[in-house]
Structure 1
Amino acid sequence: MTATATGPRPRDRVLLGAAGGLAAALLVVLALRLPSGSPLGVEDNGDGYRLFCGAGLTPLTADGYASWRGGWTTDFAVGPPTCPGPVPSSALVITRITTWFAGDTWSPAILGWTYAVLVGMVVGLGAWAASAAGRRQALVVAVPALPLAAATFSRFFVSTYSEPAGLLGSLTTAVGVAAVLVTRREHRAARVVALVLTAAGGLVATTAKVAYVPVLAAAVLVCALTAVGVRRPRRVGPALAVVTALLAVAPVVDALERQQQFYAAVNAHNLVFTTVLLEVGPSATAPLGLPPDAARLTGNGYFNGPPRPDGVPWWEGAILGRPAETRAAALVLLAEHPTAAARAVGVGLQATTLADLPYLDSLPASPANPSAPSGHPGWAGARQPDLAQVLDATRRPPWLPSALVVVALLAAATARWQGAAGRWSLAAGLAASTALALVVVAVAGDGYFEVFKHVWLAAYLLALAGLCLLGAAATALVTAMRSRRRRV
């Protein structure tokens, strides 16, 4: 990520942006097989209803359900909202807009086309901004889009989850950061566009799911530290950072209050029994205000696992009666046992190696198939030793994500001494630290329950960090070769 003294002509920059946007949109279209009769998507695990009910969508299936059908539901009837309080999400906004053009029947495939267009617009704007530093520099915005060539990430665009909006937001922030890193402060218009992309991406991601707030934090940090203009270079970036943070306050608070209202007991149970008791051991029952007998539930999630102890006084008191206090005590206990906390974060990072989520089928389901009652308890993180078996069965190195985070952070810490490769290292460090924060939030929020899906966005950012490290290595190699030739 280096900058040249002069950039291309304005017309050429527009053409570069248009070409980059078209290429990115086409990449998503081909990855999802949208022109075919069987595009790739993601099977609903039950979470989809919380979003599509607010868009007025009803599954056109034999039993009226969309979850666990051996594939994703292809057709929905369009009407008024079917639930009083849908999950607040930027993904819901996008879904509602697509229903305006769907007539009486709607398919998630239209979301795939919509997200492809949005990806193209983001990459196109980023390419235009980055091209202020030169034609070759415009290519850096392709790096955040490259992981979308894998169905692992792009297939979520054909789904009724909130995750696709989180991915779009993270991509937008990454494209903005790439444009910031290749331009200079005198490229005022280009940097303003790049910072707007960075900030907008953070807002879209965080309002998709409140657990994605680390993306917003990264976006605000970049805006606050970026100089725009020569005469008063520090005003625009920090001002945009403040505005972005203020815009995020209301939706983040609303999302947290909703989470506390509907899922406080669920989150407390999952954190205590799938993670804290598992990693700290049976001795953790006393600090949590639980009897020793509670250790029998170790490894069991709230959903998809063995039956909950409904009617048992200690469970109903600690989990249903005071979930916030129990969850706070669990987090304090993890802080007091850093080894256990490190193991928990390590499990979350290892789960990113299985971001393809094979337990959620990719192909369309037959509308005649009945809806199954639940998913796989191992993949759902709802029962031990099933979760451990899933983690152990992967052929991918379990240590790779942790090693990637360490290398990226070290590279970012030494970026000032790396010359032209330093900007790539900074990008790698930002992506890796954001991914790590996403993992921490996921594990602290809901334990190991649905951990593979909860760290899925972190897997995208780790893939991006890996690509940036490759860019740093290639830049350093080219620089060394050029220096050697000069000496010869």
Structure 2
Amino acid sequence: MATGTADATATTDPLPRRRTGPPRWLVGVLAGLAASLLVVLATRLVGATPLGVEDNGDGYRLFCGAGLTPLTADGYASWRGGWTAEYAVGPPTCEDPVPSSALLIARATTALAEGTWSPVVLGWTYAVLIGVVVGLGAWAAAAAGRRRALVVAIPVLPLAAATFPRFFVSTYSEPAGLLGAVTVGVGVAAVLATRREHRAARIVALALTAVGGLVATTAKVAYVPLLVAAVIVCAVTAIGTARPRRDGPVIALVTVLLAVVPVTAALARQQQFYAPVNAHNLVFTTVLLEVGPSATSPLGLPPEAVELTGNGYFNGPPRPDGVPWWEGAILGRPGETRASALVVLAEHPSAAARAVGVGLQATTLADLPYLDAFPAPATALSSPDGHPGWSGARQPDLAQVLQDTRRPPWLPAVLVVVALAVAATARWQGRAGRWSLAAGLAAGTALALVVVAVAGDGYFEVFKHVWLAAYLLAVSGLALVGAAVTALLGLVRHREQGRRE
């Protein structure tokens, strides 16, 4: 009788449902709006003087393909003491613009322009794209609990410093690389926050990871480590419970297939247009500087080649045009010379370590003060001089720049070592292990970006070339903080349970 009464009561007066918090779509919308607002505020897009990045000459290779012509006194956009604020819109002004996802985004914004165009439009576009990415990532992460959506803040928080998002207001390829890196970070965060039974959420998370890797690598081929990281994450992530390792590898394979054509085309273009430049910079700004005069013979260079040590192809002392040995090694066979330079570095591990160390140290100066953040007056003229020290085009200017900074030169290297160490022991860290894996992945990818930058172009423009690595190191540092806090909270809970027992 009692049982029947209880059943009747349960039928007529059901217990209230447990609150699960706001719907996931609302969590995603709010997270996306917050991320977009962060970018807008960091770059001052709502102010009279938005923050951007002065063109160093690289911008032309992209904006010419978008049909943009600088509305300046001399028709140039570079080295004007600030970024160019206004362009005329028309047909492409070059036959072979740089192939980049950044070019596609720029072209999309010029399609809506009426006569004139400003990089500020790009800033707003990237702010919206960041919001979309973060919103999708937060929606996916919230499948494991609404509070889990907070994990997407880790790859977003570094954007609070203008150091990174100010590139969104520029005609470089770097902003698309940053968009891709943020997308990979958001995707990985959502993967780590969810479980394999959250099938739809993990598919969205892996799609973000894969798309981010593709966007970054097609922005600049030097960002290929981000694609590698994205493919690895997709390949090892389990989705579903019946066949948990089927979908992830498929996404990884599709990502690789989609990347083959644009990556090989970008590499071929780099070899076609910049092989002598890259070979010269690697040999003279790095190999001869770190290895010494003994490297001339393995490189097929005469002893007098050491006189060019530390000099970059651009922005440095005049090149030795007309000198037979230079034109033969650099202009005639740049691929062979560059390969020999890499072999020399491999045979001198201490020199290679110093070179990578310089690249890591350069990440401490990711704010790139030599590239002005404010718009230049329309009457300002372009200067061909550049900044030899900051561009890494002349020694001892580069060494002086590195020496003058008050930021700890050892910090990036220590961060990489610590992050990789904690990632290697993640399986024994309990809940903190996921944070440690994220820290290790970000640090390892940053290190790979530095290696690619130094091996590709030596110390030339090293600060700008490792700028995206600096963002990933910031993400790694935040993930390490998350791991430490999680471990500390776990220890407190364990002690409380012990006291209760």
Q: TM-score, normalised by structure 1?
A: 0.98
Query: Which residue of the partner structure matches residue 82 of structure 1?
Result: 93
Q: CA deviation at 1:101?
A: 1.3
**In 2, Cα distance between equivalents of 1:364 and 1:340:** 40
1:232 to 230, 239, 243: 243
Q: Which secondary structure state, in structure 1, belongs to the residue aligned with residue 444 of structure 2?
A: helix
Structure 1: which 5+ residue stretches go unaligned? 1-5
| Counterpart Cα distance in 2 of 1:36 and 1:141 | 27
Residue segments in structure 2 that go unaligned for 5+ positions in a row: 1-16
Deviation digits for residues 246-266 of structure 1, max 9, x if unmatched? 100000000000000000000
Measure how far apart 1:375 and its partner are: 1.1
Q: Deviations over 1:93-112 (max 9, x none)?
A: 00000001111100000000
Which amino acid in the other structure matches residue 303 of structure 1? F
Aligned partner of 2:382 among 368, 371, 387: 371
Task: Report SS of the residue matched to 1:77.
Answer: strand
In structure 1, the partner of 2:291 is: 280
1:209 aligns with 2:220: yes
Distance 1:101 1:477 in 2: 52
Secondary structure of the equivalent of 1:419? Answer: coil
Q: CA offsets, 1:250-284, max 9 Å, x none? A: 00000000000000000000000000000000010
Question: How is 1:237-276 mapped onto 2 (pairs within 5 angstroms)?
Answer: 237-276=248-287
User: 4+ runs of 1 displaced by more than 6 Å?
Assistant: none
Indicate the SS of the match to 1:58. strand
Alignment of 1:285-324 (within 5 A): 285-324=296-335
1:374 CA drift (Å):
2.4
| Pair 1:111-2:89 in alignment | no
Aligned residues: CA RMSD: 1.1
The aligned amino acid for 2:479 is C
Q: How many residues align?
A: 483
- In structure 2, the residue matched to 1:432 is 443
- Distance in 1 of aligned mates of 2:304 and 2:40: 53
On the 8 A contact 1:74/1:108 being kept in 2, the answer is yes
For normalisation by structure 2, the TM-score amounts to 0.96
Partner of 2:6: none
Query: Is the CA contact (8 Å cut-off) linking 1:7 and 1:134 kept in structure 2?
Result: no
The equivalent position to 2:395 in structure 1, one of 356, 365, 384, is: 384
**In the alignment, residue 191 of structure 2 is paired with which amino acid?**
V
Aligned to 2:491: 480
Amino acid at match of 1:462: L
SS for the counterpart of 2:23 is: helix
Q: Is the 8 A contact 1:8 1:132 kept in 2?
A: no
Check conservation: 2:296, 2:305, Cα contact below 8 A. yes
Q: 1:31 aligns with which of 42, 45, 58?
A: 42
**SS state of the match for residue 214, structure 2?**
helix
- Which residue number corresponds to residue 395 of structure 1? 406
CA contact (8 A) 1:359 1:376 kept: yes
Q: In the TM superposition, what are the counterparts of 1:78-227 in structure 2 within 5 Å?
A: 78-227=89-238
Q: Does 1:405 align with 2:405?
A: no
Which residue of 413, 417, 425 corresponds with 1:414? 425
How much has 1:11 moved relative to structure 2? Answer: 6.5
Contact 2:21 2:146 in 1 (8 A): no
Deviation at 1:358, TM superposition (A): 0.1
Structure 1 residue 373: Cα displacement: 1.1
Match of 1:457 in 2: 468
Distance in 1 (alpha carbons) for counterparts of 2:41 and 2:149: 22
- AA at the equivalent of 2:458: G
Q: Is the 8 A contact 1:7 1:131 kept in 2?
A: no
Name the larger-Rg structure.
2
Letter in 2 for 1:423: R
Say whether 1:336 aligns with 2:374.
Answer: no
